[in-house]
Structure formats: structure tokens, C-alpha cells
A = this chain, B = another copy of it.
């Protein structure tokens, strides 16, 4: 007879003890396992071009233009329709990407190593707010910014990361939670902690002082800069807890803008449980409304999967100015998540709750039994390709994917 409690304790313990350190930067085609020349990685569970949402399609078009695989939007669409380019989930390649999550072969990605368990994870660079590729925009300025990131920022960042001898991301996240971040939608402090760690190295390795100045300016003033290395860190954390026999803990939550998908530690890596993604509730930028919104999208739910994001929202009361609600709602977000998680984090703590650890290790049994789905903080993308971000808010996965997963678990382990 399988001991689920014991298995879940092990899964959660592995997540807590994982120790992600940012160790490098490299081109996706050089460092991401299974990356192919005619492949694009995307957020969420597997999806076909035909079923892809507008945001994802826009980002695919942009990436193909940027890679020089297509010269026009039409050419890009043609390539996809004719299946000349493969779509593969980031999550099948130890990678994650925010929103559309497109990683193309020539893009640079962070390399995060889990020093406890030895596994690695990857995430692309953050482009900033608004009209950006990950929100489905692909105009020339979007592509130009990506080019600057790749050709100017990435080489300096790569050398600077090596110069730092590695940035301890577990410490960084831990400290950011004491500075009003929750690590997903509010990353003001984490970004500045990253700047603190990297700026002396950037000044040292970048021989062009004007370039160094521009890179420091861009990273410091993009309050989401650190989201991507944090996501890679959370991916390294969650992956290390995957595959524990008999565990009902969620190790992946991810959305492709059409479906919300989860994977469970005690079930197969290939086994996704999916259902239609929902429209987030939140605050919209001037001129946009809920009808413009794409359904929930992105791999950034890896943060909640690992015990931060909406799960740590009690630490980030000021976030409500961005995602809606009151500081009391932020507190309740964390308190509610204790009901569906296995344990409390040892390194990620919340001063407001007397330094209690964040809720970590989502147990699908508790989700189904209590009727409480995980809370998620998220950006909101326009549903049409080419527009970009239109707001930020709160969302939950559909309950049925947890029911499906529990059913599959019962079947595999003969609980029927």
C-alpha cells in the first residue's frame, strides 16, 4: 500500500530544500535539451497552431520574423500551417517562459542550477512592460528591442553572471519576500536585489561605459526583470520534486492561453491534465476591458507551484494597486492556500505572518476535497495577436483538472 502522506512529505521537502543558483546565460539552441532549429518552445501544456490563442499566435509570428525564418506575418503563418515549425512546451525542455513563453533557438536564456539536486532550468530574458513579444506583439519596435536584448544585453549579462560566480536565487527570493514582493507579479525588490548583485559585475566587464549605463538603466527600471530568473529558479525547484511515487503534489501549473494544464509528482511527466483556461479578474489599462482579454496564459504559475506568487501575497500588500483588491485580500490569499498545501516553506517566510513559511506543495486531494483551487497572480494579454499587455489580475485554474488528476491517480494506484 502506497503511503501518500510520506510521498507528499518527500515531494514538498525536495521543493523546500532545492537551492537554485543563477549560473549562466546561453543561447537556447546551445543549452536547452531537445531544442531543435525548426522548433519554438511555448508556455503551457502542448498545443497545436490551430488551437492556439491570439496571444500565442502573435508571439510565434514575432519569433519567426525575429529569427529570419519568415519575412512577413503571412509567411510566418504559412510556416505554421504547413507544420514546417514544431511547437513544443517549454516544460518538456526544463524551461519556462512568461505569458506566450516563446523561446526560439537564437534567444538567450538564463541557466539556473539547483545546487541541492543537480538539475538545471532555463528561462528567456524579460522585455519589460506593455507591447512586448510575450504578450503577442510583434511590431518592428518589439523586434528591435529583442534584437538589442540579444546582441547588446545578453553578452554583457552572460559575462557578468560568470563574474558574480553565481547569484543565489533562493536567498534573493527569500529577501524579496521581506521587501514587499510576492515573486510573480510584484518583483520590484527582487529586481533591485538582482541589480545589486549584477551591477558591479556589469560595470567591470562592460568596457563601453555608455552601454553599461543603458543596460543598468533598462534592468533597474524594468520591475519585472527578475521574474524570468525567478521562474527558472522555481522550475528547477518544481522539477526536482517531480516523479515521487505515490505523491499527489502538483509539480507543474501552466497555461498556453487556450488550456490550463497541471502535472502531478506521482504521475507521469507526459501526463497533463487540462481544461479551458479562464479569463483573469483584475485591473485593466486605460482603454481596455475584460472583453479584450485573452484567457489565462503563461508558465509563470511555476511561482505559485513552488510556494511564492499568490501563495506569498500576504508579504506583498502593495501589489493590490496593480492586481486589484485590498491588503486584506492579499493576506487572505496566503491564508487560504495553507488549506490546500502540504507544508510551510523553511526559506520563504512572511514577516506579516510572524515569519511563517509560505504555503508550499499543492495537494490535489485537498484541492478537490475542500473545493479550493490554487490562486494565481497574472498579467492579462489582449486576445488578438499584435496588441500586448492590457492589465493584471487574479485567476484560478479550472477545478476539473484537479478532479481528472485525482481520478488518474486513483486509477494508477488502484484506489478505485
Q: Which residues of A contact B (CB under 8 A)?
A: 175, 178-181, 188-189, 192-193, 195-196, 199-204, 206-207, 209-210, 212-214, 216-217, 220-221, 317-318, 320, 326-328, 351-352, 354-355
Contacts and interface: CB of A to CB of B under 8 A. Distances in A.
Given A199-B199, A220-B200, A318 B212 contact: no
A217 B192 contact: no
Contact of A199 (B178, B189, B220): B220
Given A203-B213, A204-B210, 12 more contacts: A180-B189, A180-B351, A192-B193, A195-B196, A195-B199, A199-B220, A200-B213, A201-B213, A203-B206, A204-B212, A317-B351, A352-B352
Most buried by B among A175, A181, A213: A213
A196 B223 CA distance: 11
Contacts of A210: 204
A221 B196 CA distance: 7
Q: Which 5 A-B pairs have the closest CB atoms?
A: A192-B192, A317-B351, A196-B220, A200-B217, A204-B213
Most buried by B among A179, A203, A355: A203
B216 A199 contact: yes
A98 B355 CA distance: 30
B178 A203 contact: no
A104 B272 CA distance: 68
B179 A188 contact: yes
Contact of A178 (B180, B209, B351): B180
7 contacts: A178-B318, A179-B179, A179-B181, A201-B213, A203-B203, A327-B352, A327-B354
